[in-house]
Structure 1
Amino acid sequence: MFVFDPINQGLEFLASRDLEKAESMFLRIINDPYSQKNELAEARTYLNDIRSCQSGSASLDFGSYKKLSKRSPLSLDVLNEMFAELYFSNAQTYREFDEVLEEHIPRVINRLKQINIRDVVARDKLFDQMGKGGIRAIKQSIEKVNKGKERGNPNFDLYRWKTLFRKFIEQINPLLLERHLELLNHILQTAEINLLEDSRLTSLTPKYRWIIETTIKSKWFLLRSYFFKARSETESQFSKKEGTRKYWEEVKYKKTKIFEECGFSEQNIQKFLFIDKLNYNTLKEIHQFSADLGLTLVPRDVSLALRGVSKSRDHIRERAGILMGQRKSFQDELRDLGFSRDSSYEIARQAKRKNSHQISDAFQTALKVTRDEIYWYRIFPQSHTLKDKIEAQCCKHLSTVRIHMFERGRLNKILLQEGKSLVRKYLIRIYGESVVGLHCYFRLETIHQYYKLKFFEYHSKHIPSVSELIKISRKDFKPLVINGYNTFVKKRRLSVPPDLYDAVKTHISLTSWEDQYTTPEEKLLLKFWFLMDHGVSITQGLVQKGIFKPKADLLANVKNQGAESKS
């Protein structure tokens, strides 16, 4: 016997004085692992009544059971309560929703079994009813929580609800299908076609039997329209492998599995599920392609797949660091300049084609300026940290990097920051470790103080104290430098050509490190000190070679292009 509501059916048997069948119904409830506490309590009560009657210890009022059996159909309140409870749970990820649903669904399985799923239309109506009831229950709960409170309380999250309901449907659909197939098997055995609740179906004809048998074989919900079509048309529908309701629902579940695996938001999942142009095989192809490159799909990949698989593949390649065409050429150019793989990819991917040369030019210019002005900054252009910082600026500013590096002083700041360690080491060498702990150290740790101290090291027998050094302003330092230069040139018997002197005087660095007190004498001394620190003797021959001209390559005359030797 096929039973939707064992309690009600048992009461009907009791009302008709069929104690044996009534007992069988109530025992079925007790033996059902999904029975709820209230159902078990009712079943035990009625079983006790039956056994008392059978033993003769009590007489039953069978009319009262008849009244109980006519109670109204059960509602979906238990489902709505579960939806409200799970909506406010801590579940956030798709896996967490699966876990909480697996835990809570057993308590509503009996209620689901009591629903007559006659065909796929009845199932869809049930889903629609459950969806509306769940939303209503959740909104009522939210209103209770927000009642009497200030604004700012959480409102109904549509996509959280959609996730919850979608995962719920995924889990209960197999249960409903199993129950539906049990109903169809029962109809085949008993010919009770009236259970399909259609007045047009009066008896189980051979055609109807064939339709039900084929439906059971296909393991899908009955389509009642088949009963009213020609057999040949129905056969063609059953033989179809694609385009059926079953096929599209299976495709939907497969798509959803891929989307969840890739971490798509519920909003994107809902959007892509209802796009007919998104072929599952296409989705599967780009998903496998991205997996082969060690990536997961992003919504943009799927959107591009609607315009062609090749566009989606190109976008995935770009995300994997594989560019195409001119972008690839530009990436290779950046790699040749010394950019890292990640940075070269990001820049080549984002930079506009017509402005890409500005980035590489700015990078090369920054390194050239570093080399040209090495006598001031004392930073070697092959420094990895320097290149990394310039590279970071290129990634950040792209085609406007030149403006930031040279016009807004970013390169000057980077080079000065890089030279902090050099200044620190030099101060410690001159004044000892304790200099770092002085309260005025922040005033001492500048490049101007470094070169003032360098001046006294090379041109004076007396090294000033920290306080004396700090008190010497740039204005006061200017005549000292000029006198020191003249003494040095005279002592070394150097003859500086006027054209060299004028060229040094008029040259302004791209980083504009010079101030109003900077003189040609100071610039020449800076170059002399740099070479002397690296063990190069300043001679007239070097002057005549032109290595002290602006933008001349001083570094080429240094044998050990590594750490400073005396600084």
Structure 2
Amino acid sequence: MFVFDPLNQGLELLAKRDLQKAESLFLKVINDPYVQSEDLDRARSYLNDIRSCQTGSKTLDFDQYKKLSRKTIVSLDMVDDLLAAIYFSPSKTYEDFDREIQEQSQTIISRLKQIKIRDIGARDELFQKIEKSGIQTVKKGLAAGKTNGSPGGFDLHRWETVYRKFVETINPILLERHLELLDYILVTGEIELLDDPKLTVLTPKYRWIIESTLKSKWYLLRSYFFKARSEIQGQFNKKEGTRKYWEEVKYKKIKIFEKCRFHEKNIQKFLYIDKLNYKTLHDIYQFAHNLELELTPRDVSLALRGVDKARDHIKERGGYLMGTRKEFQNRLIELGFGTDNAYQIARQAKKANNHQIAESYQQAMQVAREEIYWYRVPPQNTLFRKDIEDQCCKHLSTVRIHLFDRGRLNKLLLQNGKPLIRQYLVQAYGEEVVDLHCYFRLETIHQYYKLKFFQYHKDALPSVSELIKISRKDYQPMLIDGYQSFVKKRRLNVPDTLMQALKKHSSVTEWEDAYTTPEEKFLLRAWFLMDHGASVTQGLIQKGVLDPGSDMWGFLKGQEPDCKI
């Protein structure tokens, strides 16, 4: 007799006074490591009754045991509760779910073994019932206020993870039990256990089908009983294309997806795409692994269009760009970009937008060079170049809008000039100046140049409060007087064309205000040259060193790379 429910079947044998067989079944329950505590207590009680009867110390009422035995009705309530418990657990990663399912599934193994799996169809039907009832149980839990800490209602992808992993865990148990049933049928000839009215006698053909199924270690396909032997033989001899083969491939794919931390949504998306065969998936997985990378959903999508496309994409993620992207990367490096930033930009930017990024970077460097008399930040400044690179990485084709139209370049230049201003203020007023409550008003570029004016055109520096009180409106006539004195003292003949050019010239960063005059622009250039040890002479004016857009930094290229005070 094939044992599905040893406890009830033992009671039936006990009612028939077959004490020896009943005892073996109760011992089987007791020795089962997965038995429920309630069933364990009952089995021990019945076993004690048998042994008391065998020793003559107790007389048994066998009719009573017949009443205690009941028809086995396998309920999925325990399975549903287990799935709901895992769904509402704090598990987040696939490893957490594996651990949780392995621990909790031990409590239902004995219940699963009571289920008679006749064939592959019965197994699939069982899985459908588990999925349907499990979802209902989870939704009832959500309605009752249960949660796993995640916002929102029923999380379909979380449920798919729980259900998929649970099925993967219990499938070997059900298969083992199914093969035990087939083996029992071969021994006893009780083919009626397959519950098919058309199968009444275990014929040689049926025996061969069951033996071949046992040899393949897979579920029985009922349709084989009604096909020609030659056709069935071909199915058993096939290595690929069978139901068993596709399920094994499915689990191999899942293993790769989980190693690469794919979201359940992507796993379900790629799992049943026939075009994505396992060989292709494993190929690109190994390729990415050799580059110390993990597969991404984009890699797998590209693999559907060809392995080479997926490999090229993986190479790009690994730092190996191809074609026009490689050319653009080299161009960025030639412009002065760091290797990492050049790679990131070339990989992400569209081909049509490449020139916009490169031109924006070049223009930013050109502005820093032309406006160095104001910002005092040379284009070779490492921090400034890094800031511009970061802007290019962040905004790509829209970097021009952010740098020039929205004033980001002006802010970056001012920010990189702050250390110079601080150094000059400390030199002028001492270390304690940074502790003044009004220091934030003092540490500006306008205050810096006011102080420069007093340095070059007055006998003494003003106090902090006096400096701050000088408005731009009051500063304008002071600058004009200072310019006239400067030109007269140095006997300079400044052409009207130069002053007109300075007046018309407007900075790309628009730092000028309503009080900016050509005299101020001239003095700013003169102060910059004098700070670097160059004397402002008529010769410099004639050479065009003070003209708008002139390369003053190039003229001073023999000086140190950082601006002097």
TM-score normalised according to structure 2 size: 0.95
Moved more, 233-242 or 61-70: 61-70
Which residue matches 2:73? 73
Read off the aligned partner of 1:427 and give its amino acid letter.
L
1:56 paired to 2:56 = yes
Contact persistence 1:393–1:401 (CA under 8 A): yes
Read off the aligned partner of 1:35 and give its amino acid letter.
V
CA distance in 2, matches of 1:352, 1:130: 49
Read off the aligned partner of 2:363 and give its amino acid letter.
T
1:126 paired to 2:120 = no
Which residue matches 1:289? 287
Read off the aligned partner of 1:70 and give its amino acid letter.
R
Alignment of 1:315-394 (within 5 A): 315-394=313-392
- Deviation of 1:146 after TM superposition, in Å, equals 7.0
Contact persistence 1:146–1:153 (CA under 8 A): no
Which residue matches 1:4? 4
CA distance in 2, matches of 1:97, 1:146: 18
Unaligned runs of at least 5 residues, structure 2: none
Note the alpha carbon deviations across 1:190-210, whole angstroms, 9 max, x for none: 222222222322332222222
Read off the aligned partner of 1:563 and give its amino acid letter.
D
CA distance in 2, matches of 1:92, 1:23: 46
Note the alpha carbon deviations across 1:394-452, whole angstroms, 9 max, x for none: 23333332233223322112111111111111011001111111122122111111111
- Deviation of 1:279 after TM superposition, in Å, equals 1.4
CA distance in 2, matches of 1:553, 1:187: 97
- Deviation of 1:142 after TM superposition, in Å, equals 2.5
Which residue matches 1:198? 196
CA distance in 2, matches of 1:494, 1:252: 86
Identity of aligned residues (%): 63
Contact persistence 2:191–2:199 (CA under 8 A): yes
Alignment of 1:245-264 (within 5 A): 245-264=243-262
Moved more, 121-130 or 379-388: 121-130
Secondary structure in 2 matching 1:475: helix
1:520 paired to 2:507 = no
CA distance in 2, matches of 1:316, 1:24: 61
Note the alpha carbon deviations across 1:344-388, whole angstroms, 9 max, x for none: 233333433333212211111111111111111111110111111
Match of 1:211 among 209, 223, 235: 209
- Deviation of 1:332 after TM superposition, in Å, equals 1.8
Which residue matches 1:497? 495
CA distance in 2, matches of 1:412, 1:156: 50
1:18 paired to 2:12 = no
Which residue matches 1:418? 416
Moved more, 400-409 or 379-388: 400-409
Alignment of 1:531-546 (within 5 A): 531-546=529-544
CA distance in 2, matches of 1:91, 1:165: 14
CA distance in 1, matches of 2:15, 2:404: 97
Read off the aligned partner of 1:434 and give its amino acid letter.
E
Contact persistence 1:371–1:555 (CA under 8 A): yes
CA change 1:381–1:11 in 2 (3 A) is same
- Deviation of 1:123 after TM superposition, in Å, equals 1.3
Which residue matches 1:562? 561
CA distance in 2, matches of 1:153, 1:323: 40
Moved more, 535-544 or 418-427: 535-544
CA distance in 1, matches of 2:83, 2:403: 58
CA distance in 2, matches of 1:43, 1:354: 78
1:488 paired to 2:508 = no
CA distance in 2, matches of 1:2, 1:90: 41
Note the alpha carbon deviations across 1:214-254, whole angstroms, 9 max, x for none: 21111111112222221111110101111100001001101
- Deviation of 1:480 after TM superposition, in Å, equals 1.9
Note the alpha carbon deviations across 1:263-307, whole angstroms, 9 max, x for none: 111122112112222211111122222222322122222222222
- Deviation of 1:469 after TM superposition, in Å, equals 1.1
CA distance in 2, matches of 1:358, 1:52: 95
Q: How many residues end up aligned between the 2 structures?
A: 562
Match of 2:425 among 418, 424, 427: 427
CA change 1:397–1:256 in 2 (3 A) is same
Unaligned runs of at least 5 residues, structure 1: none
- Deviation of 1:466 after TM superposition, in Å, equals 0.9
Contact persistence 1:555–1:561 (CA under 8 A): no
Read off the aligned partner of 2:394 and give its amino acid letter.
K
Contact persistence 1:347–1:394 (CA under 8 A): yes
- Deviation of 1:500 after TM superposition, in Å, equals 2.5
Moved more, 333-342 or 367-376: 333-342
1:227 paired to 2:225 = yes
CA distance in 2, matches of 1:231, 1:400: 70
Read off the aligned partner of 1:64 and give its amino acid letter.
Q
Moved more, 240-249 or 262-271: 262-271
